């Protein structure tokens, strides 16, 4: 059985959760895969001292994504106490507000090139470096050394070549589509467990999990794109939809979803082209006609929009 841990390496609860997961899975045949989550996507590209960063109100927002039920101040105290209880000691605490993007790339690449064991070794060293060794994990040189220490000798070169950037971007969108809202979130089968729960709770959760029904990759990608659009993220939806447009560009459902995304992201020229194609293929599709009419209206083509809007209203009164 495989479980996924969606977490940010700069979230203290993620490192605490890692220790609890390790205890929870003792004696079980379970494969663990780490997936990216960003609690602090606004972190500066150049790391700043942690104490200085605490004055930035965006840091409070980040901490709430790590512990939604605690105030930022309560979270800082609570995580330090729990870290000590978990055996991390009283030297716990980051020295830097660091951008975790490259660290996530390195961890994702470790899975691709060495499997879950190598990925776990890299994730462990990255979090230890941040919370215990007080290193700047946004620094490329630091990540090179951590990769080598973990046995991922080629990791640094892959980072420098830009590898893993698109992979992490897609995984972050997938997590959002799946409803991942906090770090860490453990996904087993079709169920999710949010937060760094106790080892006992995690073990019960994993033992009770049933494998999710595997969907074709194209279907899963389409559903995730739909979910992002429902969350008012049309650009994210388009990013996931792009491979489907390349490979299944004649599929009506794919085209309709793309048309909706283009319309909601104000890419009106592209929306018009897709919707005109759909209306030409299926003239009795009331929704396609209505959306085409709205698109033409927004482009300032009221006369062209009128027939489509009137026809849509005749076919479906809700569009009147």
pLDDT per position as a tens digit, 143-183: 999 999 999 999 999 999 999 999 999 999 999 999 999 99
3-state secondary structure of 136: coil
3-state secondary structure of 185: strand
Distance CA 279, CA 292 (A): 8
Distance CA 311, CA 103 (A): 53
pLDDT per position as a tens digit, 224-271: 999 999 999 999 999 999 999 999 989 999 999 999 999 999 999 999
Q: Are strands 191-194 and 48-49 parallel, antiparallel or unpaired?
A: unpaired
Distance CA 48, CA 97 (A): 5
Distance CA 288, CA 270 (A): 14
Give the pLDDT confidence score for residue 131 in this predicted structure: 96
Would the pLDDT of 57 be above 80? Answer: no
Distance CA 303, CA 99 (A): 50
Terminal CA-to-CA distance of the chain, rounded, Å? 52
Distance CA 137, CA 156 (A): 13
Give the pLDDT confidence score for residue 184 in this predicted structure: 97
pLDDT per position as a tens digit, 104-152: 999 999 999 999 999 999 999 999 999 999 999 999 999 999 999 999 9
pTM of the entire predicted model: 0.92
Give the pLDDT confidence score for residue 213 in this predicted structure: 81
> Across-strand partners of 305?
none
Q: Are strands 2-7 and 31-36 parallel, antiparallel or unpaired?
A: parallel
The Cα diameter of the chain in Å comes to 72
Which domains are present in the chain?
A: 2-208 (3.40.30.10), 217-319 (1.25.40.10)
- Cβ–Cβ < 8 Å for 215, 190: no
Grade residue 190 by pLDDT with cuts at 50, 70 and 90: confident
């Amino acid at each position: 059985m495989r479980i996924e841990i969606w977490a940010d390496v700069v979230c203290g609860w993620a490192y605490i959760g890692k220790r609890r997961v390790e205890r929870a899975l003792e004696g079980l045949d379970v494969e663990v895969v780490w997936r990216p989550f960003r609690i602090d996507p606004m972190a500066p590209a150049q790391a700043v001292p942690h104490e200085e960063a605490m004055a930035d109100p965006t840091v409070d927002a980040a901490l709430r994504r790590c512990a939604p039920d605690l105030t930022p101040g309560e979270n800082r105290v609570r995580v330090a106490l729990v870290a000590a209880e978990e055996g991390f000691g009283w030297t716990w605490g980051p020295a830097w507000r660091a951008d975790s993007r490259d660290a996530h790339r390195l961890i994702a690449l470790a899975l691709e090139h060495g499997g879950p064991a190598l990925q776990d070794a890299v994730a462990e060293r990255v979090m230890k470096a941040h919370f215990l060794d007080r290193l700047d994990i946004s620094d490329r040189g630091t990540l090179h050394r951590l990769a080598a220490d973990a046995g991922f000798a080629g990791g640094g070169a892959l980072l420098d070549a830009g590898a893993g950037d698109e992979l992490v971007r897609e995984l972050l969108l997938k997590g959002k589509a799946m409803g991942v809202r906090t770090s860490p979130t453990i996904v087993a089968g079709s169920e999710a467990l949010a937060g760094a729960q106790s080892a006992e709770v995690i073990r019960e959760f994993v033992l009770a999990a049933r494998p999710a029904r595997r969907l074709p990759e194209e279907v899963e990608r389409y559903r995730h794109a739909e979910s992002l659009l429902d969350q008012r993220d049309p650009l994210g939806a388009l990013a996931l939809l792009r491979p489907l447009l390349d490979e299944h560009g004649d599929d009506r459902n794919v085209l309709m979803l793309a048309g909706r995304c283009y319309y909601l992201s104000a890419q009106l020229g592209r929306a018009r082209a897709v919707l005109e194609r759909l209306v030409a293929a299926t003239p009795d599709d009331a929704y396609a006609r209505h959306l085409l009419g709205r698109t033409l209206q927004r482009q300032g083509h009221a006369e062209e929009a009128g027939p489509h809007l009137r026809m849509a209203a005749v076919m479906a009164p809700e569009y009147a």
